[in-house]
Amino acid sequence: MVETTSTGTQTVRHDLRNIAVIAHVDHGKTTLVDGLLKQSMVFRDAESAGTLIMDSNELERERGITVFAKNASIKFGDIKINLIDTPGHADFSSEVERTLSMADGCLLLVDAAEGPLPQTRFVLALALQLGLRPLVVVNKVDRKDARAEEVVEEIADLFLELATEDAQLSYPVIYAIAREGRAGHAPDDLAPDLIPLFRAIIEHVPPPVANMEGPVQVLVSALDYETHRGRIAIGRVIRGTLTRGMSVRCLGNNAPTMPLKLLELFTFQGLGRYPVEEVRAGDLVAIPGVPTVTIGDTIADAAEPEALPRLAITEPTVQLTIGPNTSPFSGQDGRAVTSRQLRERLDRELETNVGLRIRSSAEAGDGAPADGIVVAGRGELHLAILLETLRREGFEISASRPEVILRRGERGMEEPFEEVVILVPQAYMGTVTELLGPRQAVLQQMSPDEGRGARLTYRMPTRGLIGLRGALLTASRGTATLNSRFIEYAPVGGTIPRQRNGAVVATEAGMTTAYAISGLQERIRLFIGPGVSIYEGMIVGLNSREQDMPVNICKEKKQTNIRSSNSDIAVRLEPPMVLSLDQFMEMIGEDELLELTPKNLRLRKRHLSAQARERAGRTSSAV
């Protein structure tokens, strides 16, 4: 086999393919990548490899989504295929954008029942803008509600709208059941393995074309960290040949670094990295030993340094303020409780989480505590993943309510708007419509969705999305699904009323009692049961009305000499509401904070005592 073909200064790498795997959340992307890895003999015993190989992050396994883009490499015959697993959620668009920059083609995976959804459109548009050649896989064709032919037509319509060149309209369609590791050219005629997909990748994804002779250039698209090697730059060799021992410079926003000698080079092999002497243009490389490198930088030949255009990254649209835990229970669960520790950890996060922005709350001028840090990201999920990661690492944090980031434009103050697609059974359409009306949502399109009821497409401000997912699930009894993507900044719309009832606020510190709860549970919904330690100002539940409700939930029954009746002895308590981090974030009020520790999530008032809240209310009214 001919590995390379040269035309002038350009060389075609016939021995190599770089392909990004892109899809919507839960459409089976990671499962398919796992199947490709297993069937390419990356694992000698496929059964021992486990499932969801590429979702190595614990949170990714739990949530069933891909957050951090990863790289793997497989062999099909003499051809090396670099597989690049990308996030499928718009909140991680910054990961998607820089991941796509390493690929020449994209494998677009779509559910045979759900069809292309908003994030599918978002990622596909990015891929086509970069000129990637597409390959379509329609997955889960064994579903009872599968409609493979209709989905293929929907995909064709999407390509007609988004394609930037005619060649992108000519793509192969492979049908698959990723869970079983099977694929084929028709939904009712699948091979017993994924060989049809392997062949489609080789035949339709173009091999890299690059200048092998010019001064070396590497575009840094990702970063990793190892204790004994330090920061590791990961990217694609755009030009030239990178060799171990050569001198390079790092070109970024600042002045070029002094020449650095490359002591180690790695390429990807299976799920790991393999040391090599050289990496030629077109391949992916991991470079340790460049301490100041950041994502978007160029690693170039020290003798002839030439920078590549920096990667364009989508700016954040949602922010919240976090700081050290200041509740009376501070320090009981975590090991990292100071502002300095939190700031140092967030600075490290910025090295790899390019969609994140941080600044002190004093700089933001938002009236938050001086030791607060404003963290901005692409959406609620982006920020929720960060907070969950921090608490699992032992941090104790307090977080404010998420809010959208406004900007001043030509038309005055502008806010982010999103396209929202909701799949809902017919029985709950009226309820969902009523729910969205007050959130400034405008219905753009309504169409029947086979097997699910209706597909509703709305245009609405991002602030209307805050808290919507939980409310939608409640209103539809868990049957509706919501997907969204950012579309534009536009003038700020009307007001959105408060979506949550008043808080039930503890007036006393102590241990909750069954006696106190039994007298309250008909009027309120509690977050906690009896025998739980609480503090004054902690929010223990939700009122049935809009007003906050102060309660003493630690009250004990007075002892008397009168014998208790049977009705007194058997007190039936309703189970408390168990909320996730995402649900708590949706629930935070303007004067409230969320307390996060490794063991607990607690909602609390910003000012714990009633007197302090009253003073703060008078001050804000005066302003």
Count other C-beta atoms under 10 Å from residue 397's C-beta: 21
In this predicted structure, what is the pLDDT of residue 485?
78
Say which CATH class 212-301 falls into. mainly beta
Give the highest mean pLDDT range of 58-72, 529-543, 604-618.
Answer: 529-543
In this predicted structure, what is the pLDDT of residue 47?
41
CATH homologous superfamily for 4-207? P-loop containing nucleotide triphosphate hydrolases (3.40.50.300)
Averaged pLDDT of the chain: 83
Task: Tell me how far apart the alpha carbons of residues 593 and 579 are, in angstroms, rounded to a whole number.
Answer: 15
CB contact at 8 A, 177 and 112: no
Amino acid at 184: G
Mean pLDDT of 524-534: 92
Task: Tell me how far apart the alpha carbons of residues 460 and 412 are, in angstroms, rounded to a whole number.
Answer: 18
Q: Per-residue pLDDT for 316 more than 50?
A: yes
In this predicted structure, what is the pLDDT of residue 48?
43
Q: Per-residue pLDDT for 367 more than 50?
A: no
Helix axes 118-129, 93-100, angle to 10 degrees: 30
Show me where the domains of the chain are located. Answer: 4-207, 212-301, 407-491
Task: Compare 336 and 250 and report the one with higher pLDDT.
Answer: 250
Mean pLDDT of 450-474: 82
In this predicted structure, what is the pLDDT of residue 1?
46
In this predicted structure, what is the pLDDT of residue 546?
86
pLDDT tens-digit map of 36-46:
888 886 544 44
Give me the residues paired with residue 111 across strands. 139
Chain center to CA of 552: 40
Using a pLDDT cut of 70, give the percent of the chain over it: 85
Mean pLDDT of 348-369: 70
Mean pLDDT of 167-192: 92
Tell me, what DSSP letter sits at residue 349? H
The band of 119, judged by pLDDT with boundaries at 50, 70 and 90, is low
Task: Compare 353 and 307 and report the one with higher pLDDT.
Answer: 307
In this predicted structure, what is the pLDDT of residue 535?
95
pLDDT tens-digit map of 236-289:
999 999 999 999 999 886 666 788 899 999 999 887 888 999 999 999 999 998
CB contact at 8 A, 496 and 440: yes
The band of 152, judged by pLDDT with boundaries at 50, 70 and 90, is very high
Q: What would the two tokens of residue 256 be? A: 């070029």
Q: Per-residue pLDDT for 452 more than 70?
A: no
The band of 93, judged by pLDDT with boundaries at 50, 70 and 90, is low
Q: Per-residue pLDDT for 558 more than 50?
A: yes
In this predicted structure, what is the pLDDT of residue 365?
45
Task: Compare 401 and 121 and report the one with higher pLDDT.
Answer: 401
For 407-491, CATH number? 3.30.70.240
In this predicted structure, what is the pLDDT of residue 566?
45
Query: In angstroms, what CA-CA distances link 122 with 85, 91, 530?
Result: 16, 11, 47
Q: Per-residue pLDDT for 567 more than 80?
A: no
In this predicted structure, what is the pLDDT of residue 2?
46
Query: In angstroms, what CA-CA distances link 84 with 19, 108, 332?
Result: 6, 12, 41
DSSP 170-205: ---EEEEEGGGTEEEEETTEE-SSSHHHHHHHHHHS
Query: In angstroms, what CA-CA distances link 45 with 40, 54, 71, 80?
Result: 11, 17, 21, 21
Q: Per-residue pLDDT for 407 more than 70?
A: yes
Mean pLDDT of 41-53: 47
- Global pTM reads 0.75
Q: Per-residue pLDDT for 509 more than 90?
A: yes
Hey, CA dihedral for 324, 327, 328, 334, is it positive or negative?
Answer: negative
Using a pLDDT cut of 90, give the percent of the chain over it: 39
